[in-house]
């Protein structure tokens, strides 16, 4: 099937219209007309080859909300007209220890990514949601609960699940004390979700002036991480810290704020720590620094159902696909509250 899309053809090219081919549906496939696609910072990294693994042309987008057009002969969970989502993965090996536990994101053979991946069956490249449609395996398609705003739901499929997974893994609930480092696409979702789970929620920030917005999003307390007195006042307070900062930064000031036997989990940064981690606080009080990557399919469905019950979506700014390069430039300056979402109807307008 020939499909209109936007792609980067090199690390220095702007995203531009580019035709792609989608496979004819297999028996267990779902054909989805894309309505909205969130813009993740990973999209920008991949388009610019910041991780040195981009295969061009690349069509980004892994926060996909759409409507089912048709289904394969073996599909039982979906039918034409259903609103559905596709997140960061479209397949995995399905038989390793991680996949058996519903942790497809940690597949021993590495999951098939929604874009910049290779299909496990026909070895063709995968293309993402900056396009008019996608074909995905039924197991990796998610049901949208009724009543959830479609555009606002798109970032739940990456920013939402990236913060939901550690909240669930570390058993956050009523009475938990959770801190969030950074207020951006990930951070604002962490505040909303932790609060809805019943936790007391604190925002760590380096920027004064975010208090009103942070409280609106669910924060009970705001701590300026550059203020020694404010940091000292929360010593030993938190059972979990979710660090959403996407670049190298100093973790050492946050470790004293963890309670004994508690964890700081990194969800925003891949790479070496700078400066190095001082392990004294970890060894002396059994504190941990951990990492977490998105979530499995069952966990993502759990998130969507929870958000449907609580009316939680991302705070978004809707854009046209024609404005994606401007959005990338603004993303580099953190000039969005808190996630761009592309109205893919603009691609149809362009075609017309």
Whichever domain contains 262, its CATH number is 3.40.50.720
- In angstroms, the Cα distances linking 299 to 29, 114, 123, 336 are 21, 17, 28, 27
Residues 18 and 148 in one domain: yes
Residues 8 and 150 in one domain: yes
Residues 97 and 227 in one domain: no
d(CA 328, CA 42) in angstroms, rounded, equals 11
Q: Is 216 in contact with 210 (CB distance < 8 Å)?
A: no
> Of the candidates 283, 331, 292, 333, which has an alpha carbon nearest to the alpha carbon of residue 103?
292
Please give the mean pLDDT across all residues of the chain: 96
- Residue 73's domain is classified under what CATH number? 3.90.180.10
348 pLDDT higher than 90: no
Residues 151 and 227 in one domain: no
H helical segments located in the chain: 41-47, 97-100, 150-153, 159-169, 185-196, 211-217, 228-232, 280-285, 297-310, 324-332, 345-351
Residue 301 lies in a domain: no
- In angstroms, the Cα distances linking 9 to 203, 238, 251, 315, 323 are 39, 45, 37, 30, 17
Residues 201 and 322 in one domain: no
> Of the candidates 41, 49, 52, which has an alpha carbon nearest to the alpha carbon of residue 13?
49
121-157 residue pLDDT tens: 999 999 999 999 999 999 999 999 999 999 999 999 9
Question: What's this model's pTM, rounded to 2 decimal places?
Answer: 0.95
Residues 287 and 330 in one domain: no
Residues 7 and 149 in one domain: yes
DSSP 71-138: E-TT--S--TT-EEEE-SEEE--SSSHHHHTT-GGG-TT--EESSS-B-TTT-PBP--SSBSEEEEEG
Q: Give the torsion through C-alpha atoms of 208, 214, 215, 216, to 10 deg.
A: 130
271-299 residue pLDDT tens: 888 899 999 989 999 999 999 999 999 99
Give the pLDDT band (50/70/90) at residue 31: very high
Residues 219 and 266 in one domain: yes
Residue range of the domain that includes 247: 160-291
352 pLDDT higher than 60: no
Domain count, the chain: 2
Residues 210 and 225 in one domain: yes
Residues 6 and 148 in one domain: yes
Question: What's the mean pLDDT in 228-234?
Answer: 97
Residue 107 lies in a domain: yes
Q: Which of 260, 291, 322 is the last residue of a domain?
A: 291
Residue 28 lies in a domain: yes
Question: What's the mean pLDDT in 25-42?
Answer: 97
Q: Is 102 in contact with 299 (CB distance < 8 Å)?
A: yes
Residue 307 lies in a domain: no
Residues 151 and 191 in one domain: no
Residue 137 lies in a domain: yes
């Amino acid at each position: 099937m020939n499909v209109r899309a936007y792609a980067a053809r090199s690390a220095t090219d702007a995203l531009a219209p580019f035709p792609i081919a989608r496979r004819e549906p297999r028996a267990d496939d779902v054909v989805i007309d894309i309505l909205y696609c969130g813009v993740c910072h990973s999209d920008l990294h991949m388009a610019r080859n910041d991780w040195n693994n981009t295969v061009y042309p690349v069509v980004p987008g892994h926060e996909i909300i759409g409507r089912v057009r048709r289904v394969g002969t073996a599909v039982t969970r979906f039918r034409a007209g259903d609103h559905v989502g596709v997140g960061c993965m479209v397949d995995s090996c399905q038989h390793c220890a991680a996949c058996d536990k519903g942790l497809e994101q940690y597949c021993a053979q590495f999951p098939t990514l929604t874009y910049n991946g290779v299909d496990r069956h026909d070895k063709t490249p995968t293309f993402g949601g900056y396009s008019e449609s996608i074909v995905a395996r039924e197991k990796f398609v998610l049901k949208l609960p009724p009543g959830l705003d479609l555009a606002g739901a798109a970032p739940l499929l990456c920013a939402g699940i990236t913060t939901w997974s550690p909240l669930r893994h570390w058993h956050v609930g009523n009475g938990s004390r959770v801190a969030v480092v950074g207020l951006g696409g990930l951070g604002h979702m962490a505040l909303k979700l932790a609060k809805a789970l019943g936790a007391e929620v604190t925002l760590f920030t380096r920027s004064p002036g975010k208090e009103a917005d942070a409280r609106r999003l669910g924060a009970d307390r705001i701590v300026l991480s550059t203020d020694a007195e404010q940091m000292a006042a929360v010593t030993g307070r938190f059972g979990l810290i979710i660090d959403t900062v996407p670049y190298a930064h100093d973790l050492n000031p946050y470790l004293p704020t963890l309670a004994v036997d508690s964890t700081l989990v990194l969800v925003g940064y891949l790479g070496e720590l700078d400066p190095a981690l001082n392990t004294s606080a970890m060894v002396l009080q059994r504190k941990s620094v951990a990492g977490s990557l998105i979530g499995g399919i069952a966990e993502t469905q759990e998130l969507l159902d929870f958000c449907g019950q609580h009316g939680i979506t991302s705070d978004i700014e809707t854009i046209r696909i024609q404005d994606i390069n401007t959005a990338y430039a603004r993303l580099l300056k953190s000039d969005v509250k808190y996630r761009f979402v592309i109205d893919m109807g603009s691609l149809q307008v362009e075609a017309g």
